[in-house]
Amino acid sequence: MRVTYFVKSRFLLAILLAVQALLPLHAQKEDKKEEPAAKVEKKEEPTAEPEKADEKPDGKDAEKAGDEEEMDEAVAEEEEASGAAVARPVTPDPIQVYGWREKVLIDGIKKPITAKLDTGAFTSSIHAEEKELFERDGKKWVRFIVTEPRKKDSPRVRLEAPLVRIARIKEPGGESETREVVRLAFKLGERKLRGEFTLNNRSNMLAAVLIGRTTIKELGWIDPSRTNLADDKIMR
């Protein structure tokens, strides 16, 4: 009897040890079975929608937004090389304030013409029609007609001026074209000035004359929220 009891005890002990040895293997198998389920859950997680790129204006809107931005390439390079483009220091001296749109009186024209003061343009520009190059005393001149194409009753005045140079103007679309440049005398408020103007077709522009920053720097400050301030003599 004692021998039988001893054998049974040893047999039960062996079974218990075998079960304990198999438990870790069983747990590892269970973990391996659960891994694919976890991967499936990751695949099912919703992904964030990509951010939409900023909408760009179509070609017409972009052209309208930059239709006044003109750059005389040759003069711009010369200004940058000479250091003339360096900003002037602010002084306590009183400076007159002008509106973004003013009336200018071109020498040789009796009635004032609407002009836009635009710091985005380098050289001033004027609407010119029927341009004609000719020589006088061995020098090149330009004959042209100035008018305000948006006004039906605007007079057509023929002017003659010496040709200063031929400028290459960079348009907003990146293309360049050549234009004649003349020097004209004009009056803005009580200020009498002389400046270079490119002869251009401005029939699609808001103003027949554009005053660029080469002339604006001789005038004063521009208030972009107001118009026709020249006669008010507003000082800052």
Q: Tell me the pTM.
A: 0.65
| Tokens linked to 27 | 């747990």
Per-residue pLDDT of the chain (236 residues; tens, 9 = 90+): 444 555 556 666 677 666 565 555 544 555 444 444 444 344 444 444 443 333 333 433 333 433 444 556 555 555 544 545 556 666 778 899 999 999 999 999 999 999 999 998 989 999 999 999 999 999 999 999 999 999 989 999 999 999 999 988 876 677 788 999 999 999 999 999 999 999 999 999 999 999 999 999 999 899 999 999 999 989 98
User: Can you give the pLDDT at residue 9?
Assistant: 61
- At which residue do the structure tokens 């020098």 appear? 139
Chosen CATH of 63-232 out of 2.40.50.140, 2.40.70.10, 3.30.1600.10, 3.30.1490.20: 2.40.70.10
Neighbouring-strand partners of residue 182: 163, 197
| Tokens linked to 72 | 């005389």
DSSP helix/strand/coil, 28 = helix
| Tokens linked to 160 | 């003659």
| Tokens linked to 128 | 């010119």
Domain positions in the chain? 1-38, 63-232
